[in-house]
Amino acid sequence: MLRVTNLKAAYGKIEALHGISFHVEKGEIVTLIGSNGAGKSTTLKALMRLQPPESPIVTEGDITFDGVSILGVPAHRVVSDIRMTLAPEGRRIFGNLTVMENLQLASWSRRGEDTDKKIQHVFDLFPRLAERARQRSDTLSGGEQQMLAIGRALMTKCSVLLLDEPSMGLAPLIMYDLFRTLKKLNTDEGLTIIVVEQNANLALRVADRGYVLDTGEIIAEGPAKELLHKPEIKAAYLGG
């Protein structure tokens, strides 16, 4: 469904991805793991067609969705037409808006389509958000903010959800809860998920397949179970 071929991407003159190729099929959970600076976030931003200065320029290669190149599609159309969105690193929720406003705003491209029902759905997944609906979102705890970031992404009615380090800064229990919810969204609703993680152990336990990135290149790939037990990956990324 989503296919990346020989993708090279650069920030200005500095190339961050040196020709990576991977694919994601409908209904899969795929994880990209790797150390800091490997190009994981860069890959997600390139997929979303976000623009510089925060995001890279694709210099070579292609990204196709159902066989059609999306390189020329602006980010907001990737969300509205291709139904793919990103819960970015550091959550980036709109702290000056209430929880409710964050969710309503995210339904921008789905105007007139049962927004209230969708909000209720998000509240069912994350009951904590319902309690905080009228609160300014920068007063939420880290875990709640991550729930809001994911809830907000779901409000766009995405069929592909990209997650950039959702576990960052979360207490272990909350982290497991979050991944359980993601798994549930995947199995119950067929949501395709691409998750970038530092916590490779956790990501590989949830994912179907994984890719290991290192300094802008894919150095290993395969079913998550295999990667989890590969000695060299264990040594490099899973803490031995």
Partner 1 sequence: MEFFLQQCVNALQWGSFYALIALGYTLVYGVLRLINFAHGDVFMVGAYLAFFVSTGLLAPEGMFGFSREIVLILTIPLTMILTSMVGVTLERVAYRPLMRKGAHRLYVVITALMCGLILENGNLALLGASRRTLPTLLDKTVYNIGGIAVTNLKLLVVFTAVLVFFALYFIVTRTRMGMAMRAVSWDRFALPLMGIPLEQVVVFTFALGSSIAGLGGLLFAMSYPVLDPYMGAMTGWKAFIAAVVGGIGDVRGAFVGGFLLAFVEIMVAAFLPSTFRDLFAFSVLLFILWQRPTGIFGKPLTTKI
Per CB under 8 A, residues contacting partner 1 are: 48, 50, 52-54, 74-76, 79-80, 85-86, 88, 92-97, 101, 104-106, 108-110, 138, 152-153, 155-156
> In whole angstroms, how close is the CB of 133 to partner 1 at the nearest point?
15
**DSSP H/E element including 57:** strand 57-65
| Residue whose CB is less far from partner 1, 59 or 108 | 108
* Residue closer to partner 1, measured from CB, 28 or 164: 164
To partner 1, the closest distance from the beta carbon of 101 in angstroms equals: 5
Shortest distance (Å) from residue 228 CB to partner 1: 30
Spatial separation of the C-alpha atoms in residues 84 and 135, rounded to whole Å: 28
CB of 163 to partner 1, least distance (A): 12
List the structure tokens of 14: 């500095």
| Per-residue CA distances from 221 to 32, 142, 148, 167, 227 (Å) | 9, 32, 31, 22, 7
Q: Please name the amino acid found at residue 91.
A: R
**Which residues face 85 on adjacent strands?**
161
Amino acid at the residue 204: L
Q: Which is nearer to partner 1, 38 or 79 (CB)?
A: 79
**CB nearer partner 1, residue 156 or residue 167:** 156
Nearest CB to partner 1, comparing residues 48 and 233: 48
The CB-side HSE value for 226 (13 A sphere, CA atoms) comes to: 9
Residue 32 Cβ vs partner 1, minimum distance, rounded to whole Å: 18
CB atoms within 10 A of CB 65: 19
